[in-house]
C-alpha cells in the first residue's frame, strides 16, 4: 500500500514541477513545491521524491541550478495521467462561437480555425484541408457563358467549391445545357469523388449522340476538378508565437521553422489524428524529423456525421500548457465538424 502512496505522491511532485516550469520557465526546487503546492509532506520528502524522479528519467537538472525541469519522459507521464482536460473559459467559448460562427465557406472556416487556435493556445496552429478521398459530390452546376462555352461549378459535401471553364467547340441550346446538368447530377450527386471519376468516364456513352462530344469535354474537365486537387493542403497560422521564447528551442529555432514550411512534414505530424474523439500528443523525441525534437504536437481529427475529414492541431515547445492546449484543440475541432455537418 505504501508503494501506491509513494507513486502517487511522486506523480504529484512531477505534476508540480511540470506546472510551475510551464508557467515560469524556471527550474523548480523542493522549497518552491512545498510553498506553492499543498502536498502535505516535508521538504526532505520532496527532495527524496525528486531524486527518485531524476533517477528514473522524469526530471533533469539543467546546469548547476538547484531546481529541476521535466524531461520528455516526464511530460509524457504527465500527459498520460491527465484525468481531465482544463475546461475552456466562458470568453474562450464565446471566441470560438464568434470567430467560427461567421464563416462563409470552407476556406473561411479553415482560415478562421487556424487563427483562433493560434490565439487560444499561443502556439503554431495547423489545419489540414478535408481529404478528397473522403469527400462526396453534392452538386454540379452548369452555367452558359456563351452558346459554346460553359462554366462548371462542382461542390463537395465538405463545402469545397471548384469552378472550371469548358470550351465546347460547338453550340449548345439552353435545353441541351439543362439536359447535361440533369445527367451530371443524376450520375454524380452523393458519389465519393473517386467513384464520381469512374461515373464521368462512362457518361459520354449514356447521353444522346448529339450531346456526346460536349459530354466528353465536360467529363474531362470535371475529372480534373474533382480528382486532381493536391490533397495535401495545409493552413498554418501563428508561426510568430514560436519566437516568443527562443530559449525553448536550444540549438536553432530556424530548423523548426524550416520544417514547418514543409507540407509533407506537417501532414506527417497530423497523421496520428485519425479520430475526431481522440487527442494525440507527441512529445520531443517521439517526433520526426530531428529538427522538431524540441517541440510537441497536439492533434485531433475533425469530421462530420461520424466521418473523418482531416486533422488539426498545434505545434509548440515541449514546455507547453498541455491541459489547456488539448482542450482548445478538441473544442475547435468539434465546432469545425459541426459546421461542416451543417453545410
List the domains of the chain with CATH numbers. Answer: 2-80 (1.10.10.10), 90-131+231-341 (3.30.450.40), 133-227 (3.30.390.10)
Residue closest to 266 by CA, chosen among 152, 141, 127, 150: 127
pLDDT digit string, tens, across residues 16-29:
999 999 998 899 99
Dihedral Cα 76, 331, 96, 245, nearest 10 deg: 10
Grid coordinates belonging to 136: 462526396
State whether the Cα torsion 159-163-169-171 is positive or negative.
Answer: positive
In the predicted model, what is the mean pLDDT of residues 216-239?
78
Instruction: Please compute Rg for the chain using Cα positions.
Output: 27
Residue with grid cell 469545425, as numbered in its chain? 336
Residue with grid cell 470552407, as numbered in its chain? 106
Do 263 and 232 contact (CB within 8 A), yes or no?
Answer: yes
> 59 has which bridge partners?
70
Task: Show the CA angle centred on residue 118, arms to residues 116 and 119, nearest 5°.
Answer: 65
pLDDT of residue 197: 80
* Average pLDDT taken over every residue of the chain: 87
Residue closest to 150 by CA, chosen among 135, 137, 169: 169
Q: Quick check: helix, strand or coil at residue 270?
A: helix
Residue with grid cell 497530423, as numbered in its chain? 270
Residue 134 has pLDDT above 80, yes or no: no
Residue 52 has pLDDT above 80, yes or no: yes
Residue 310 has pLDDT above 50, yes or no: yes
**Residue 2 — pLDDT band, cuts 50, 70, 90?**
very low
Residue 84 has pLDDT above 80, yes or no: no
pLDDT of residue 228: 58
Out of 112-116, 119-123, 284-288, least confident range: 284-288
Residue 100 CB: number of other CB atoms within 10 A? 19
* Residue 300 parent element (H or E): strand 295-304
Out of 223-237, 253-267, 285-299, least confident range: 223-237
Between 121 and 224, whose confidence is greater? 121
* Residue 146 parent element (H or E): strand 137-146
Between 161 and 189, whose confidence is greater? 189
Residue 88's contacts (CB-CB under 8 Å, 6 or more residues apart) are 96, 327, 328, 331
In the predicted model, what is the mean pLDDT of residues 187-213?
86
Residue 4 has pLDDT above 50, yes or no: no
In the predicted model, what is the mean pLDDT of residues 146-169?
86
pLDDT of residue 259: 87
Question: Side-chain half-sphere of 273: how many Cα atoms within 13 Å?
Answer: 31
Amino acid at each position: 500500500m505504501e508503494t501506491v502512496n509513494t507513486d502517487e505522491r511522486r506523480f504529484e511532485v512531477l505534476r508540480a514541477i511540470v506546472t510551475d516550469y510551464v508557467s515560469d520557465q524556471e527550474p523548480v526546487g523542493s522549497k518552491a513545491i512545498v510553498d506553492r503546492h499543498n502536498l502535505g509532506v516535508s521538504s526532505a520528502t520532496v527532495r527524496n521524491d525528486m531524486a527518485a524522479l531524476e533517477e528514473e528519467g522524469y526530471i533533469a537538472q539543467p546546469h548547476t541550478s538547484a531546481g529541476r525541469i521535466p524531461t520528455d519522459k516526464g511530460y509524457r507521464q504527465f500527459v498520460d495521467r491527465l484525468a481531465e482536460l482544463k475546461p475552456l473559459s466562458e470568453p474562450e467559448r464565446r471566441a470560438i462561437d464568434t470567430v467560427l460562427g461567421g464563416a462563409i465557406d470552407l476556406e473561411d472556416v479553415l482560415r478562421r480555425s487556424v487563427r483562433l487556435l493560434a490565439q487560444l493556445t499561443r502556439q503554431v496552429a495547423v489545419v489540414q484541408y478535408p481529404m478528397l478521398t473522403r469527400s462526396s459530390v453534392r452538386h454540379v452546376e452548369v452555367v452558359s457563358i456563351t452558346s459554346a462555352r460553359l462554366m462548371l461549378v462542382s461542390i463537395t459535401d465538405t463545402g469545397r467549391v471548384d469552378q472550371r471553364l469548358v470550351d465546347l467547340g460547338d453550340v449548345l441550346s439552353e435545353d441541351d445545357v439543362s439536359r447535361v446538368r440533369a445527367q451530371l447530377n443524376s450520375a454524380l450527386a452523393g458519389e465519393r469523388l473517386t467513384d464520381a471519376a469512374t461515373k464521368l468516364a462512362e457518361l459520354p456513352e449514356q447521353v444522346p449522340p448529339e450531346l456526346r462530344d460536349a459530354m466528353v469535354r465536360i467529363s474531362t474537365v470535371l475529372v480534373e476538378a474533382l480528382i486532381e486537387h493536391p490533397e495535401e493542403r495545409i493552413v498554418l497560422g501563428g508561426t510568430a508565437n514560436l519566437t516568443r521564447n527562443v530559449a525553448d528551442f536550444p540549438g536553432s529555432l530556424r530548423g523548426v521553422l524550416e520544417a514547418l514550411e514543409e507540407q509533407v512534414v506537417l501532414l506527417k505530424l497530423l497523421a496520428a489524428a485519425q479520430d475526431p474523439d481522440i487527442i494525440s500528443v507527441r512529445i520531443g523525441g517521439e517526433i520526426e524529423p530531428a529538427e522538431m525534437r524540441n517541440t510537441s504536437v497536439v492533434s485531433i481529427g475533425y469530421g462530420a456525421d461520424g466521418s473523418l475529414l482531416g486533422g488539426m492541431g498545434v505545434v509548440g515547445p515541449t514546455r507547453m500548457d498541455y491541459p489547456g492546449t488539448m482542450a482548445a484543440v478538441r473544442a475547435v475541432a468539434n465546432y469545425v465538424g459541426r459546421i461542416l455537418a451543417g453545410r
